[in-house]
Amino acid sequence: MTNQEKNIKAAMPYLVMNPTASIEAIAALASISKATYHRTFESRDFFFNQMADYAIGILKKCT
């Protein structure tokens, strides 16, 4: 599992309930700094796209 996947997995349950969460909250949930978040993910949209891809990958494994 890549660092991106670990960060996404850590933040996903919270973001499902709080889709407008701040970058600070997302980074804290993933146990990374805000600077690391910005180095890992180009933008908030990129993060959400990566999260969607990760969720789709999980769903594909279930079928």
Contact at 8 Å (CB) between 28 and 18? no
* Closest-CA residue to 37 (of 10, 57, 55): 10
**How much is the average pLDDT of 25-45?**
89
**Percentage of residues of the chain with pLDDT beyond 90:** 30
pLDDT recorded at residue 56: 93
Averaged pLDDT of the chain: 88
Whether 37 and 27 have beta carbons less than 8 Å apart is answered as yes
The pTM of the full predicted model, rounded to 2 decimals, is 0.76
Whether residue 63 is predicted with pLDDT greater than 80 in this model: the reply is no
Cα gap 50→62, rounded to integer Å? 19
